[in-house]
Amino acid sequence: MKLAASLLSADFAHLARDVARVEGAVHLLHLDVMDGHFVPNLTFGPPVANSLRPHTRLPFAIHLMIERPAQYAPRFAVGPEDSITFHVEAADPPEEALGAVRALGCRIGISARPGTPLERLLPYLDAVDLVLVMSVEPGFGGQAFLPEALERIRALRRAIGRRPVEIAVDGGIGPENVRAVVEAGADVIVAGSAIFGKPDPAAAARDLWARATKGS
């Protein structure tokens, strides 16, 4: 299992400093890229992600909440440990996004909004390394966890079967529900406000990790 810190709740004027604070306490950095079209919010794109790359050894998990993932994925400087996740609902057809990400040599993820039927993702399970289950409506940090995500994680786990596909879960995860998310079948926990929204992000991350792994 892995813990990912979402930079959406970090201080965008001090990204390298905030990343350094959690470097030893998380396994991945989750980067939320938003285009103001796919979601009603704007964050950052390849120039910011690529500038941050030399400042940390943590792998990047890039979450593209954009309409044109096939067009923009190639602009990210990624390696085999990094991942790029696109949405099945984006304007670029999933097959094109898959091809664009595969050509980069990084890990491939696919995601869906909470209201999108899981069936839309199933045709791609043989082609991806991870599925990102959204437990909030994509677009903003700090929202409440949607409890129906737990059943979605379980259903996805059954559908994945023995394939080597990870389940990552993103949105509204904190100390109070992280264990339930793990028990439902999550392999990667993404947390933004529960880490960077706290006065001591490393301590918050360690506490989350302790709760996630308690008893297992």
Binding site for Zn ion (CB under 5 A): 32, 63, 170
Q: Does residue 109 bind ligand DX5 (CB under 6 A)?
A: no
Site string for ligand DX5, 28-47 (x = CB under 6 A): --x-x---------------
**Residue 143 binds which entry of ligand DX5, Zn ion, none, CB below 5-8 Å type-dependent:** ligand DX5
Q: Does residue 201 bind ligand DX5 (CB under 6 A)?
A: no
Taking CA atoms, 90 is separated from 44, 122, 154, in Å, by 18, 16, 25
**Residue 142 binds which entry of ligand DX5, Zn ion, none, CB below 5-8 Å type-dependent:** ligand DX5
* Total residues at interface with ligand DX5 (CB under 6 A): 22
Q: Does residue 171 bind ligand DX5 (CB under 6 A)?
A: yes
For residues 10 and 159, what is the distance between their CA atoms, to the nearest angstrom? Answer: 34
Q: Considering only CA atoms, give the Rg of the chain.
A: 16
Query: Which residue, 99 or 120, has its beta carbon nearer to ligand DX5?
Result: 120
For residues 200 and 196, what is the distance between their CA atoms, to the nearest angstrom? Answer: 8
Q: Does residue 83 bind ligand DX5 (CB under 6 A)?
A: no
Question: Which residue is catalytic, options 35, 82, 170, 207?
Answer: 170
What is the number of the residue whose Cβ is closest to Zn ion?
A: 63
Q: Least distance (Å) from ligand DX5 to the CB of residue 18?
A: 13
Answer yes or no: 187 catalytic. no
Q: Does residue 190 bind ligand DX5 (CB under 6 A)?
A: yes
Answer yes or no: 32 catalytic. yes
Q: Does residue 170 bind ligand DX5 (CB under 6 A)?
A: yes
Question: Which residue is catalytic, options 18, 32, 82, 92?
Answer: 32
Query: Which residue, 41 or 50, has its beta carbon nearer to ligand DX5?
Result: 41
Instruction: Indicate which single residue of 59, 138, 185, 201 sits in contact with ligand DX5 (rule: CB under 6 A).
Output: 138
Query: In this structure, how many other beta carbons lie within 10 angstroms of the beta carbon of residue 92?
Result: 20
Residue (of 59, 99, 97, 96) closest to 77 by Cα position: 59
Q: Residue 72 is encoded by which pair of tokens?
A: 């923009």
What residues make contact with ligand DX5 under the rule CB under 6 A? 6, 8-9, 30, 32, 63, 136, 138-143, 170-173, 190-194
- Catalytic site positions: 32, 170
